[in-house]
Amino acid sequence: METTPEMDAVLSGDRIPMAGLFQLDTADYGAIRLLDGAGVLRWDGNIFAGRHAQFGVLSAMRAIEDGASESAPSLRCSIIPPADMIDIIPWSTLQGSRVRLWVACYSMVTGQVIPDPYAVFDGELDIATIRLGSKTLAVDLDCTSAFERLFEDDEWIRLNPTWLKTYFPAAGGLDHVTGVTQQIYWGQNEPKDKVTYS
């Protein structure tokens, strides 16, 4: 973790005032900025508040799970929206919205954020799940890292000039490739059981 000298000075003290800054960038509602506690913090010209009028409060956050060889880091957090907003917000349309999380230190005297908060997560909202119970009303936000897209299989890609010109009209790299006798599996593994004809 690389931090600024100002933040290092605060972290070396006896009392460390810290806060989580959560931001969800939505198309319909703009940037939703939540603080992981009560109050308000200002940073980089933005206000992070403990409560948002439509999205409510940030209620829980699981530890960020580091990805293994076939998965990217992920984040799961829960928000408790106002009861009258649970049916109004189209949760499924938020999929793909950018999600960011920072850890910030702040001055207990001035309430100002110490430069610069440490970026912990930068990804996108994958799934929003409404959790309803007899005494529970929450929305769980499962977020994946922006690097998750690197693990997608590109099975729809074809190694021919027609496909290439569909997406890159000026490309001519496959125009004169003829007589390819070996099938090339692009974006997927070669099938184990093949039927060949001679």
pLDDT digits (tens, 9 = 90+) for 52-62: 999 999 999 88
What phi and psi, each to the nearest 5 degrees, are found at residue 13? -80, 175
Beta-bridge partner residues of 132: 137
Tell me which H or E stretch contains 5.
helix 5-11
User: Global pTM?
Assistant: 0.72
The residues, ordered by sequence, that sit 6+ positions from 193 with a Cβ below 8 Å of its Cβ are none
Least confident interval from 74-88, 103-117, 152-166: 152-166
pLDDT digits (tens, 9 = 90+) for 23-42: 999 999 999 999 998 899 99
**Mean pLDDT over the full length of the chain:** 84
Q: How far apart are CA 186 and CA 154, in angstroms?
A: 7
> What per-residue confidence (pLDDT) applies to 61?
87
